[in-house]
Structure 1
Amino acid sequence: MVDLFGELPETNTLSDSDVQFLDTTLRDGEQAPGISLTPTDKAEIAQKLDATGVSIIEAGSACTGVGERETILRVTNLDLDAMVTSFARGVKNDIDLALDCGVDGVNLVVPASDRHIEGKVGTTRDEVIETTVNLTEYAKDHGLWVEVLGEDGSRADLDFLERLMSGAIDAGADRICYCDTVGHATPEHTAAAVSQLAPLGPTSTHTHDDLGLAMANTLVSIGAGANLVHATVNGIGERAGNVALEEVAIALDHGYDVETVETERLYDLAQTVATATDVPLAPNKAVVGENAFAHESGIHTDGTLKDETMYEPYSPNAVGRERRLVLGKHAGRAGVRSALNEHNVEVTDDELTTIVERVKTIGERGRRITDTDLLAIADEVQGRDRDRPIELLDLTATSGGATPTASVRLAVDGEEHVASGVGSGPVDAAVTATRKALDIDATLESYHVDAITGGTNALVTVEVEVSHSDHSVSVNASDADITRASVTAMLDAFNQLLETDRRSVTVTE
């Protein structure tokens, strides 16, 4: 049987490690396809990384161009507590360009595997060592902090990698870095490689997730003696990405009592990067995904209400999150009652049974049940007449001409509102007219025909999802006329939103 993790040094366990982060979101993260951060984006992210407690921020690659250098200079001028560095290839001009940006240091990347030494650069092992020594001495002579990274180190000959990094340390490098550049390595190999490098001097680890092993390789690196982790926020990066900073931070904090950063700031940091990069967080993303602290199952919800740690490894507050009890087809009585209690709605046991059944029925259709939906269900079950500030008085729609048109007449808090609109079809025209008549600050998130009955008197069911601020509601309406069903659904949704938060939704003429 293969021992995947090998035998780690007894003198360096995770629990007694002092670990810091080098964040490369602004460099390696930006190299992911489709990502291009503006100078403002980079400055904001750098400030939040600094506030989170990240020790080193790789602000970019000065060799990329004038625009990149101006952006790096903007970050260096922020007067951050974190050290700011630039990526530099194994050429003197890259170091000079980094110096022009006012950085504190450089991440000097040199080829380590024969594939890169011979196939990419066209040189020899001895020449790589000589160049590395000369460039390290040059950078140190100019007052820079220097980290030397052996590119493709996970596929390098380990004896050569040790010789290369030993030369860098002897030349004055502040630290060396083991790089799994292509996400090739297994934890067993990573542990062996870092164990061989760590005795030489301060050692970092740089892992990619092509095999889904970035986290495992990071943890065994630390166990083998590495004390600086290269990571990106949300794990963005080339191909399958880098190890995720927030995941490493929480794994070390929760699993090994190793404090690295202010974890309470991680969710805000993740959201900032997701917005800036336009790369949304997957719902099941560890630590920062929408579902990380969401519970729908009746058993899980009931257990969580009794003991918050029942189905969570750590508190959502630890990463700046809040727990959510989600209502859907798996909802149970405890979860539904808890949600109602949050809105001060008291129900009998029989009423709760009916409400739970309706919630489950809606959930089985694949719909998300919002707080607004739940309150509307409770109103109906308890027989309360809901205030309906908006009523449909008249609707006409025509599509016989070149341009479909529609007009609506509504009563809004007793006042008559009339508007007309045009669209690509009668439904589009009617929805446009309705929105003009109301001028409601809300968004139509989705619209589709949910079901059509058979026969000559076919009944059309339209479903719309409308949102405003933090509230959203999905509503069905049925009618033999698809246009009327659409407008009715829209108005029902608006009425529910108005009822939920009348003060935040304004209706004007």
Structure 2
Amino acid sequence: MNIKVLDTTLRDGEQTPGVSLTSNEKFRIANRLDEIGIDFIEAGSAITSNGERESIKEITKQGFNAQILSFSRPLTVDIDYCLDCDVDAVNLVVPTSDLHIQDKLKTTRDELLELSNNAIDYCKDHGLIVELSAEDASRSDVDFLKLVYADAIDHNVDRICVCDTVGILTPDNSYELFDKLKDLPVPIACHCHNDFGLAVANTLSALKGGASEIHTTINGIGERAGNTSFEECVVSIDRLLPQFDTNIKIDEIYDISKLVARLTGVYIQPNKAIVGENAFSHESGIHSDGIIKNSATYESITPELVGRKRKFVIGKHMGTNGLDNRLKELGLDVDKNQLQQICDNIKVLADKGKTVTDVDLQVIADNVLEINYEDRIGLDEVTIVSGNKVMPTASVKITIDGEQILNAGVGLGPVDAAINAIKSLDVFKDIDLIEYHVDAITGGTDAFIDVIIKLQKGDKVVSARGTEPDIINASVKAYIAGVNRLLRD
């Protein structure tokens, strides 16, 4: 059975505290959603603002394969704004719990029914596809919920949706609820929230109970604890529920996850399933050894399935097999004794609480193998001009292949200005800074600053570290160390 996916990242997802997307950012996300096979895109809520309507119009005029919806209350003014945006459909949201009907709307069940039916009629009269979402359905009287849906079907609604608005369903009663509704003659959707961490589990149970459509957001973003995670739900359907399938291009899931994370500024927790930084990372010696022999020993899916790559993490739990594999990735061949010596040195460093980066591994391995590399780039001098009314400006003097070069740059802050002054030079232009992390490793105002960065050139990613009392010098030294490493490789 093919399951349809409605993505509400641009509406429910944007309701994440602190998130506000520009029209261009919304378009970029919508375009990518369409490319990966999303069936329905809820592009926003047309009633919200002029800017929101312009964003929706920009999406609707693209001719996407996906059906484009706007959120709407059962009010003529909302529906008219949806029509003005030229959407294909509306997600018509009608509260059905007595709590919402009486305390929020200050109305009655009968009046609510009339409001819902009239709104559906108005939408259908104006050529809109209608998905009726019962808000707070999981706390509604089931008989009344069925009545709302039955009336909607009589008024030619196209789809209906059960909303677990405050995330109180469990997998068992999610199945039971959808099982009671499965005989209704229109497609039934499931819209879950993650207040108890059960949104994905409840959505999968809803499918078993009779749902044929799911509502999700990329990375599970949304109000409070968020919505059903798109990537977790879609991959679970693909791998764990063979009776169902979707139209999603699963191998492109990681790319859209990173895009949404960048544009929204919502950090992806490292241990998040499927798309988290650690989802396919292995440090334990036992695990690494098993993965090298047969990845199925400690991975239920391959990272390539979702557009990822496996990583062996350097640390005190790493075994010699995993370490040897990582050294080979770095182009280093060692014998058994050298491998054990490198492993022992890593554990000494890790026991002191130090994060062991690729740069640390390279230094440790070089010392054991007595390899000395000559860096192509050296830092000679950094000068910063900054103040309340002055855009931070940096001048840097560096030596590249024996030639001394002076360059300048501006930025949002002194570190940004210094890095910009360096990376505007030709030798740096195809290198991307993908991660920047700062720690004060001693106390007081004279604390040493530990800067750890990740740089990428093509498909090669390296870590680098700079430790100085001055954060600007530490940052620039870390950046240049990483670039030297990439250029050497």
The answer to whether 1:208 aligns with 2:193 is: yes
- Give the match's secondary structure for 1:110: strand
Q: How does 1:478-493 map to 2 (within 5 A)?
A: none
From the superposition, tell whether residues 284 and 448 of structure 1 become closer, same or farther in structure 2 (CA, over 3 Å).
Answer: closer
Q: Which of 95, 102, 108 is the equivalent residue of 1:111? A: 95
SS of 1:135's equivalent? helix
Residues 1:106 and 1:386: Cα distance change in structure 2 (over 3 Å): same
**1:502 to 2:487 alignment:** yes
Match of 1:45 in 2: 29
The match for 1:350 among 305, 319, 337 is 337
Structure 2 match to 1:367 = 354
Change beyond 3 A, Cα 1:109–1:461: closer
Where 1:85 maps in the other structure, the secondary structure is strand
Per-residue displacement from partner, 1:125-162 (whole Å, max 9, x unpaired)? 11111221221122112111111111111111111001
Distance 1:66 1:207 in 2: 29
Please tell me the residue identity of whatever aligns with 2:279: A
Residue segments in structure 2 that go unaligned for 5+ positions in a row: 383-394, 408-413
Shift of 1:416: 6.8
Could you say if the C-alpha distance between residues 266 and 486 of structure 1 is closer, same or farther in structure 2, counting changes exceeding 3 Å? closer
Whole-Å separation in 2 of the counterparts to 1:287 and 1:90: 37
Q: Is it true that 1:174 corresponds to 2:165 in the alignment?
A: no
Q: Is the 8 A contact 1:465 1:474 kept in 2?
A: yes
Deviation of 1:227 after TM superposition, in Å, equals: 0.3
Partner Cα separation in structure 2 for residue 34 and residue 70 of structure 1: 21
> SS at 2:182's partner residue?
helix
Corresponding pairs, count: 454
Question: Do the aligned residues in 2 keep the contact of 1:88 with 1:98 (CA within 8 Å)?
Answer: yes
Residue 84 of structure 2 corresponds to which residue in structure 1? 100
The offset of 1:68, in angstroms, is 1.1
User: What is the aligned counterpart of 2:296 among 302, 309, 314?
Assistant: 309
Tell me if 1:335 matches 2:322. Answer: yes
Which whole-Å CA distance do the structure 2 matches of 1:448 and 1:155 have between them? 46
SS state at 1:217 partner = helix
SS of aligned partner of 2:133: strand
Residue 256 of structure 2 corresponds to 269
Which residue of structure 1 aligns with residue 371 of structure 2? Answer: 384
Deviation at 1:188, TM superposition (A): 2.8
1:219 paired residue number: 204
- The aligned counterpart of 1:259 is 245
- The match for 1:62 is 46
Q: CA deviation at 1:243?
A: 0.5
* Gap runs ≥5 in structure 1: 1-16, 396-406, 420-427, 453-459, 505-509
Q: Determine the C-alpha separation between the residues in 1 that align with 2:357 and 2:26.
A: 35
Once residues 483 and 184 of structure 2 are traced to their aligned partners in structure 1, the CA distance between those partners, rounded to angstroms, is 67
**Displacement of 1:115:** 0.8
Change beyond 3 A, Cα 1:66–1:415:
closer
Q: Which amino acid aligns with 2:224?
A: R
Q: Cα distance, 1:350 vs. partner?
A: 1.1
* Pairwise CA distance, 1:358: 1.6
For residues 463 and 89 of structure 2, what CA distance do their matches in structure 1 show? 48
Q: Say if 1:449 and 1:181 are closer, same or farther in 2 by CA, change over 3 A.
A: closer
Asked if 2 retains the 8 angstrom alpha-carbon contact of 1:57 and 1:83, the reply is yes
Match of 1:455? none
CA-CA distance at 1:368 after TM superposition: 3.4
- Inter-CA distance 60–412: structure 2 relative to 1 (3 Å threshold): closer
8 A contact 1:328–1:364 mirrored in 2 = no
1:425-480 deviations in Å (ceiling 9; x for gaps): xxx99xx8xx99x989698956667569xxxxxxx987553554443222568xxx
Contact 2:8–2:217 (Cα < 8 Å) also in 1: yes
> Distance between the aligned counterparts of 2:479 and 2:105, measured in 1?
64
TM-score by length of 1: 0.81
1:237 aligns with 2:222: yes
Contact 2:283 2:315 in 1 (8 A): yes
In 2 relative to 1, CA 206–465 (structure 1 residues): closer, same or farther, beyond 3 Å?
closer
| Shift, 1:343, TM fit | 2.8
CA contact (8 A) 2:377 2:484 kept: no
Q: In structure 2, what is the Cα distance between the partners aligned to 1:236 and 1:84? A: 20
Give the C-alpha shift of residue 215 in structure 1: 1.2
Q: By how many angstroms is 1:165 displaced?
A: 0.7
| Contact preservation (8 Å) 2:379, 2:480 | no
Q: Percent sequence identity over matched residues?
A: 42
Task: Classify 1:448/1:262 alpha carbon distance in 2 versus 1 (closer, same or farther; 3 Å).
Answer: closer
Distance across 1 between alignment mates of 2:189 and 2:58: 26
Whole-angstrom CA distance in 2 between matches of 1:299 and 1:129: 61
Deviation at residue 362 of structure 1 after TM alignment: 2.4
Code of the residue aligned with 2:234 in structure 1: it is A
Residue 463 (structure 2) aligns with: 472
Equivalent residue for 2:8, pick from 24, 27, 47: 24
1:334 Cα deviation after fit: 0.6
2: distance between equivalents of 1:418 and 1:233?
44
Residues in 2 aligned to 1:150 and 1:394: alpha-carbon distance in whole angstroms? 64
- 1:163 counterpart SS class: helix
Equivalent position SS for 2:11? helix
Are the counterparts in 2 of residues 328 and 367 from structure 1 also a CA contact under 8 Å? no
For 2:138, which of 147, 151, 154 is the aligned residue? 154
Please tell me the residue identity of whatever aligns with 2:464: V
Provide the rounded CA distance (Å) in 2 between the counterparts of 1:98 and 1:165: 22
- CA shift in 2, pair 1:158/1:392, >3 Å: closer
CA contact 1:387–1:499 (8 Å) conserved in 2: no
Q: CA RMSD in A?
A: 3.4
Task: Name the CA shift for 1:70/1:254 in 2 (closer, same or farther; >3 Å).
Answer: same
Q: Sort the Cα spacing of 1:391 and 1:196 in 2 relative to 1 into closer, same or farther, 3 A.
A: closer
C-alpha change, 1:169 and 1:492, in structure 2 (3 Å) is: closer
